């Protein structure tokens, strides 16, 4: 889901240096995006999912994960667009020394076809911020890291380097539908109900990477790990996949129990990589929360290719 924050150099006996990417997002509104976010929930219908306009008194309420996902997709599609706040962290730990990168972002996601998304954010390493801007139009992502003079790069969303940078809670609903259909999360989807909300969660137990490598939710986490693992190997870490442990992978979507609007989406994981009789821990955690509806238009700046 999200590799793109630059992590500071990690001091280790062999002077391991790496730069990790984590899915960053946005912090301020771009001048080419017109419109403001409406306070959360201000335009979402309070009518329960499944109710008919004919005056039905006993609307069908979702019970299964698939039904909650369908209800959420219908609610989210009922607005022109949505605004999400993103917060992420990325950690690399060896011998008790921890390096952390943080990012914040604002994502504006237009509904309908083709898919359109605009993210502006800041990546923080060693207290220094670096701006990042992302557009997604249909199946292509456009990324700029740095200030006004930085170059844009683009690629299909099937390119891991691009896909790792895009935060899209609406697309998470499609991922959960796939988990429900093909068992791509291993243990299935858990429904956790509490006051005012319903959480759909998938998780994996601690396992060797090779034992769970084919689960879709682990593939997503491994995609985030790969750039860091490549740099670690270049620096002398020789651990193979069958030596790497997936300590945990957890993904969740939290819905409003009444409207079925997305309240939040989160993705977190930890890998343990053996090195010289010790272990390196690499972790990410990203949370996207719904700010409100978005009534503007998403327009690519002139000259972006």
Q: Is residue 20 in some structural domain?
A: no
pLDDT in tens, 94-148: 988 999 999 999 999 999 889 999 999 999 998 899 999 999 999 999 999 998 8
Q: Is residue 240 in some structural domain?
A: yes
Q: Is residue 49 in some structural domain?
A: no
pTM for this predicted structure = 0.81
Q: Is residue 40 in some structural domain?
A: no
- pLDDT greater than 50 at residue 29: no
pLDDT of residue 300: 87
- pLDDT greater than 60 at residue 15: no
Task: Domain of residue 187: give its range.
Answer: 62-294
In this structure, are strands 81-94 and 278-294 parallel, antiparallel, or unpaired? antiparallel
Average pLDDT, the chain: 83
The full length of the chain comes to 305
Q: Provide the number of structural domains found in the chain.
A: 1
pLDDT of residue 183: 66
State the pLDDT confidence band at 180, using cuts at 50, 70 and 90: confident
Q: Is residue 29 in some structural domain?
A: no
- pLDDT greater than 90 at residue 32: no
CB 278 within 8 A of CB 89: no
Q: Is residue 130 in some structural domain?
A: yes
% of the chain with per-residue pLDDT over 70:
78
Q: Is residue 237 in some structural domain?
A: yes
CATH number at residue 289: 2.50.20
State the pLDDT confidence band at 59, using cuts at 50, 70 and 90: low
Where do runs of H (alpha helix) occur along 35-168? Answer: 65-77, 160-163
How far apart (Å, rounded) are the C-alpha atoms in residues 8 and 124?
10
pLDDT of residue 184: 58
Q: Where are the beta strands (DSSP E) in the chain?
A: 37-39, 81-94, 97-110, 116-125, 128-137, 140-145, 152-156, 190-194, 197-204, 207-208, 245-256, 262-275, 278-294
Q: Is residue 149 in some structural domain?
A: yes
In this structure, are strands 128-137 and 116-125 parallel, antiparallel, or unpaired? antiparallel
């Amino acid at each position: 889901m999200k590799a793109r924050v630059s992590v500071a150099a990690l001091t280790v006996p062999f002077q391991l240096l790496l730069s990790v990417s984590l899915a960053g997002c946005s912090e301020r509104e771009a001048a080419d995006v017109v419109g403001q976010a409406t306070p959360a929930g201000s335009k979402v219908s309070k009518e329960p999912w499944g109710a008919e306009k004919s005056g039905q008194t006993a609307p069908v309420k979702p019970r299964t994960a698939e039904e909650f996902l369908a209800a959420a997709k219908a609610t989210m599609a009922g607005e022109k667009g949505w605004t999400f706040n993103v917060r992420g962290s990325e950690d690399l730990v060896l011998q008790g020394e921890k390096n952390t990168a943080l990012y914040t972002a604002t994502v504006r996601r237009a509904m309908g076809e083709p898919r359109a998304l605009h993210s502006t954010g800041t990546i923080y390493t060693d207290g220094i911020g670096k701006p990042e801007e992302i557009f997604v139009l249909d199946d292509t992502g456009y990324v700029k890291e740095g200030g006004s003079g930085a170059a844009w790069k683009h690629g299909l969303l099937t390119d891991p380097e691009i896909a790792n940078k895009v935060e899209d809670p609406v697309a998470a609903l499609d991922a959960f539908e796939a988990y429900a259909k093909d068992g791509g999360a291993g243990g299935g989807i858990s429904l956790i109900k509490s006051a005012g909300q319903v959480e759909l969660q998938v998780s994996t137990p601690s396992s060797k990477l090779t034992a769970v490598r084919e689960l879709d939710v682990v593939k997503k986490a491994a995609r985030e790990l790969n750039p860091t693992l490549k740099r670690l190997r270049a620096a002398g870490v020789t651990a193979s996949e069958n030596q790497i442990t997936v300590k945990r992978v957890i993904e969740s979507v939290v819905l409003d129990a009444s409207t079925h609007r997305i309240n939040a989406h989160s993705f977190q994981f930890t890998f343990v990589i053996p090195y010289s009789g010790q272990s390196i821990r690499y972790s990410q955690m990203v949370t996207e929360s719904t700010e409100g509806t978005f009534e503007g238009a998403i327009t690519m700046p002139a000259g972006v290719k």
